[in-house]
Structure 1
């Protein structure tokens, strides 16, 4: 996107967030790419409308539509000036990814989601199993605060990706808590970010 000029680290942070599925907390980003989004970098990316951040126990970030569009455009961009070897190699590989996406007739977001779902079928099954341990009946709302500890320590980014995948299924519903005043800090930390909104509750129609 020619109207947005970013430094090398800003670019790396955006691509790192994209590779994590488009949404992650700072602790997850630190584990995933070795760096959080903080300080001047956070302020700049938020002000440009490329990411949305929410402060819970730690900052959680989500790529906006504009952020995804930037990532797509970056697949056709030259490496930043004065890039190190790794950066120059990366920007030689990005056009290869673009060509592969075009050949597969799939979007960047869809492909990243597919890659993050490695083992995802098993994880979505575990989420369903955990739900029925907590729900008394179909369509009971179960807090994600209670659900997450039952998933055997699966990485947060993978759980979030599996929850987003489940929400596309007709029998699964993920919603915000209507009464925001009753939310605890743990509830806010466990929330799933979808479309810029924090969602705290899961319901499934039937087994």
Structure 2
């Protein structure tokens, strides 16, 4: 079944998404009409069950399914209803969720909404990175170099582009990004320069090739 939610149904889905995919029916705004609930249930985008609320009364509890999460991830450009006053609070909740993620990954709103996309890392950028690394390592491979020092040397390369280059070279096996295991060694500049990989901070670079 190739189900495509209506603009109002899509807005309801986003309301649930911003509350970790679940909410009591009475708390959902815009309030789902019966036909919208039935359509989402039939498409297996939501599940419902009766639960007892903290106050003691029983109410319908709505949860998104994996299918709904997958649809949302692939249809972030889906048309949403602009008639419902609930759209504003949903947007505010979405932005509040997005902010700490952007901050932790050092992504600015300008990078997302700018009309020009940053070009991918070039061979010239890679050469600059190698020259900076070997300058700091005394010309040796597999010597730990602080990422903070590299960033200082490569200040002309925008941080998002440098991060992308570092991750690309790690995937290719040309370098390794490592954490500082001894917390006593981590300086404020190390914290600021760290690159998050799989949820863990990396402070050091080891050039392999």
Shorter-chain TM-score bucket reads 0.3 to 0.5
Higher relative contact order, structure no. (Cα contacts within 8 Å, ≥ 6 residues apart): 1
Greater CA radius of gyration, 1 or 2?
2
Q: Could you tell me the TM-score, scaled by structure 2's length?
A: 0.47
Q: Could you tell me the TM-score, scaled by structure 1's length?
A: 0.48
